[in-house]
Structure 1
Amino acid sequence: MSESNRVLTPSFNRSIEVEGRDERLGSDPGAILLREIMELTGLRRFFADKVHDPRRQEAIWYPIAELICTHILLIAQGWRHEQDANRLRHAPALGLAATETRGPTAADRGLPSQPTLSRGVDILARDENREILGEALTALAGTGFKAQRKGHRQRELTIDVDGLAFPVEGHQPGSAWNGHHGCRCYDPLVASSAELGSMLGGLMRPGNAGSAGSAKQFILDVVERAERHLCEIALVRLDAGFSSEALFATLEANGTPYIARLKANTKLDRESAPQRKRPRGRPPKEPRRWCVDLPYQAGSWSRPRRVVLVLKERPEDDGLDHFYLVTSIGPERMTAEQVLEAYRQRGNAESHMGELKEVCRPALSATNRPKSCYAQRPVTRAGQLSSKAFARNEVLLLLHQLAYQVLHIARTALEAARGEGISLHWLRRAVLVSGTRVVTGSRQLKVIIENSFADLWAQIIHRLYRWRWVPP
């Protein structure tokens, strides 16, 4: 019998005893479901084939693909991947899901320790490996989407790009005070798709980066990957902070359509003044909204561009609210009203970015901790060494986006089976986290979950196995 450790005899009912035992009990069976998604999408194999691991392969215990999968599973299940790694080393379901070991002996394989996972992040922080993580994220979104469409890409897809502030405690490398957000933070760029609910890319930036800082090359890279994995034509949707001649000209030269909000200015307001008048007659009970096309060229622009003036009545007085959109899409393809409707879908992308922050809870807190000794010898001038903390934080951001994307594929399957929308919060509570027990046999491992959760698992698996999976 397993050794027991009495934890509690509650005062409200003395017949209850709470004990801790060395049995294979856990609460994360969803990790096995998520690992199955990684196998179906080819994500684990993608990492094994693409990521460069400088370690001597014959001397390592945990391959790099296993380290990456462990990070993703811990994040997806709601754990602080490195902080909780040691305590969860022998969690049965997590161990079975993370390991590449086959057969019943997989139950004896523990998760990598916190230092091992941290060294894995250092490996991924290399420039070539960060590019592979970004490629993996877009490829994962494409594989999941094409599986539902029998391997076919979409004709057009809209990509939303925005900054997403992550507050930090202390003076982490690259963090800075951001007056707009009112905190010390990082301000990475995040690319997503409102139509698909997918994450497509991430770029780490300092907390005081301007809205459009580093955006041009990042957007071009995301567009190139999206058109390779997801669609034939990518349309970029931006807020007012990204409006610049350099970005517009680059997207036009690349043949990438865009819709962006423009910051109001006195010249534009002066030119649009004749159109900013309330229509004649008694106003209706419901406030009206209408759009007007304006030819306009800002002083910094190299040529005139199509600007859409959006006007809306205020119910409380006779005034009009207004704002401006600029687009490279001609009126023969989209009317002014259609341009506005396309831009309004940006709210869906913002809600998905909110889920990334609230559900996956990225903790971008890597800092420079140089070694004071190595191989039992003191390291001279250790204070000048750098662990590339900023690059590590970009890796952490991408790992959290990958975890989000794996969760989103599970959510998409369950939504298709149930015919209703669900949140990632609900998915985790109802499907991924429940009581579980692992029973080891001579030839088989049996993972037992609560029967009330089994029907949801069956719905997800049935839908996943019906889709056509093509590796990235």
Structure 2
Amino acid sequence: MPKCTDARIDFGRLGRRVIEADFSGGDLSSDGGVLLLRQVDEYLGLSRAAAAAIPDPRDPERVRHSLRDLLAQRLYGLCCGYEDLNDHKALRGDVLMQTAVGRDEALASAPTFSRLENRATRAQAWALHEVLAAQLIASFDKQPAQLVLDIDASDVPLHGQQELSQFHAYYDHHCYLPLYVFCGQAMLACVLRPSKIDGAKHAAAVIKLIVTRLRQAWPGTRFIVRADSGFCRRRLLQWCERSDVGYIVGLARNARLHAAVEVAEAALADAYEASGSKQRLIGEFSYAAKSWNHERRVITRLEYGDQGTNPRFVVTNLEGEPGVLYEGLYCQRGEAENRIKEAQLDLFGTRASCSRFIANQFRLLLAALAYTLMQRLRALALQGTELERASAATMRVRLLKIGAAILRNTRRVKVMLASHHPLRDLFATAAARLGALSP
């Protein structure tokens, strides 16, 4: 194990040479790629829009760090892998982070961020959701013909005495149960909820708010709601039907559904016995649950193999061939699960360390804004490159974590990136693409 004595670290010897290190390098940074985040943020106006959406109750004469600078510092920190507020105790002195935020002096400290999070309100949470919707709208050059909205839920594990902490039997721990809505790779909602609820609670209300907002910008766009069987609730289906919104939602298996496909499954079983190969069929029928006021179209995917039958059911109000709707549309909903993992694991959307529930909702939204920043970096600067499908964690390790030395004087800030970085050409390409977007 390396030995550390008086700030000097001994790493042994290399031949006749002694290997030693210390922290006297001066203005160096491990986050050379933060300048790319700055370019994306400037183009999107993301941190400025978020700051404009939140009222600032502080005395203007005593403010040292503007709300925009606080949010930019926090978002850049999350993107670069700094999940804890305590990280900013040292990070506030990083000259490159200061440059990215737009300052030439020490940035905000952990207590300043703690005060920001703990004065959060529900109104601020809805205002930041409006920022997410505005970012999606701005990402399109023209009105899209159709958009698919994916709904899903996930857990945020809790390990302390957080407000509204509840035990969830399925996840087998205390947690929150946030509701997510995505449109493609863009996040539109991340609503924090207690866990001891129906997983579909608030889904209809959130979808209604999102569709209403998007229709203000795109009145001619067709919207489709997609979700698994946990969100198959009468309220959501009825609202979609009244509001001319399409839906394709999983339907939990039950005895009546099994009875409806019993003959088809028997035919598949006979075909399997005759051929020895797995049998598959996609069909449809009309069905009404006891709580429904009319029959709806149900698409079923039936399989029969060496493990027996394996039926799946989805309910929809869409027109089209059953196979196309099931395989070409419904089965793509799994992509939303990947996006949730990216937001939660790569950008620390599970870091609910505040005691107040609404403060943790604010933290979840900060992770959502950081996710938006990384997602737009990928879309704007990395298409056609080896990182065009990279996750936020991969982008961080390969593109943002670049060693850099910084010289700052009255005339310029010179950033000297590591000469032998493996992706130096890709970095230059991304910077050039982002630079060309500036007005």
Aligned with 1:115 (options 111, 136, 150): 111
Once the two structures are aligned, what percentage of the paired residues are identical? 26
Structure 1 match to 2:165: 175
* Matches for 1:39-188 after TM superposition, within 5 Å: 39-99=42-102, 101=103, 106=104, 109-123=105-119, 125-143=120-138, 145-146=139-140, 151-188=141-178
Shift of 1:128: 2.2
Shift of 1:308: 0.9
Structure 1 match to 2:426: 456
Structure 2 match to 1:407: 374
Query: C-alpha offsets along residues 19-59 of structure 1, whole Å, 9 cap, x if unaligned?
Result: 21261111112222112111101213313433211222232
Structure 1 match to 2:204: 216
Tell me if the contact between 2:43 and 2:437 (Cα under 8 Å) persists in the aligned partners: no
2:302 matches 1:311 = yes
Structure 1 match to 2:261: 272
Change in 2 beyond 3 A, CA 1:81/1:232: farther
Change in 2 beyond 3 A, CA 1:286/1:359: farther
Structure 2 match to 1:340: 326
Within 1, Cα distance between the matches of 2:429 and 2:210? 33
Query: C-alpha offsets along residues 404-456 of structure 1, whole Å, 9 cap, x if unaligned?
Result: 11111222234414265323222111110111111013311111211334322
Equivalent AA in structure 2 for residue 458 of structure 1: A
Structure 2 match to 1:429: 397
Within 2, Cα distance between the matches of 1:189 and 1:229? 24
Query: C-alpha offsets along residues 112-161 of structure 1, whole Å, 9 cap, x if unaligned?
Result: 011111122234x2222111211112222343x32xxxx22321121111
Task: Tell me the matched-pair count.
Answer: 426
Tell me if the contact between 2:296 and 2:316 (Cα under 8 Å) persists in the aligned partners: yes
Equivalent AA in structure 1 for residue 347 of structure 2: C
Shift of 1:180: 0.8
Aligned with 1:324 (options 313, 336, 341): 313
Query: C-alpha offsets along residues 80-131 of structure 1, whole Å, 9 cap, x if unaligned?
Result: 24121112120121121123x4xxxx2xx112011111122234x2222111
Within 1, Cα distance between the matches of 2:31 and 2:430? 17
Change in 2 beyond 3 A, CA 1:286/1:227: farther
2:386 matches 1:397 = no
Within 2, Cα distance between the matches of 1:456 and 1:185? 40
SS in 2 for 1:134: helix
Shift of 1:189: 0.5
Within 2, Cα distance between the matches of 1:185 and 1:78? 23
Equivalent AA in structure 2 for residue 8 of structure 1: I
Structure 1 length as normaliser, TM-score?
0.84
Shift of 1:281: 4.7
Within 2, Cα distance between the matches of 1:463 and 1:278? 57
SS in 1 for 2:411: coil
* Matches for 1:159-308 after TM superposition, within 5 Å: 159-193=149-183, 196-228=184-216, 232-279=221-268, 281=271, 287-308=278-299
Shift of 1:466: 4.8
Tell me if the contact between 1:5 and 1:21 (Cα under 8 Å) persists in the aligned partners: no
Equivalent AA in structure 1 for residue 190 of structure 2: G
Equivalent AA in structure 2 for residue 76 of structure 1: C
SS in 1 for 2:221: strand
2:320 matches 1:350 = no
Within 2, Cα distance between the matches of 1:287 and 1:223? 41
Within 1, Cα distance between the matches of 2:25 and 2:59? 35
Query: C-alpha offsets along residues 338-371 of structure 1, whole Å, 9 cap, x if unaligned?
Result: 2212110011111121122221122443444xxx
Tell me if the contact between 2:39 and 2:434 (Cα under 8 Å) persists in the aligned partners: no
Change in 2 beyond 3 A, CA 1:85/1:47: same
Structure 1 unaligned runs (5+)? 369-388
Shift of 1:6: 3.9
Tell me if the contact between 1:227 and 1:234 (Cα under 8 Å) persists in the aligned partners: no
Shift of 1:232: 1.8
Within 2, Cα distance between the matches of 1:296 and 1:21? 72
Tell me if the contact between 1:275 and 1:292 (Cα under 8 Å) persists in the aligned partners: no
Structure 2 length as normaliser, TM-score?
0.90
SS in 1 for 2:310: strand
Within 2, Cα distance between the matches of 1:225 and 1:238? 20
Query: C-alpha offsets along residues 173-207 of structure 1, whole Å, 9 cap, x if unaligned?
Result: 122111111111111101113xx322221100012
Tell me if the contact between 2:12 and 2:20 (Cα under 8 Å) persists in the aligned partners: no
Query: C-alpha offsets along residues 300-321 of structure 1, whole Å, 9 cap, x if unaligned?
Result: 001111111111122x15x321
Within 1, Cα distance between the matches of 2:97 and 2:48? 19
Change in 2 beyond 3 A, CA 1:71/1:291: same
SS in 1 for 2:50: helix
Runs of at least 4 residues of structure 1 off by over 4 A? 226-231, 279-286, 465-469
2:7 matches 1:21 = no
Structure 2 unaligned runs (5+)? none
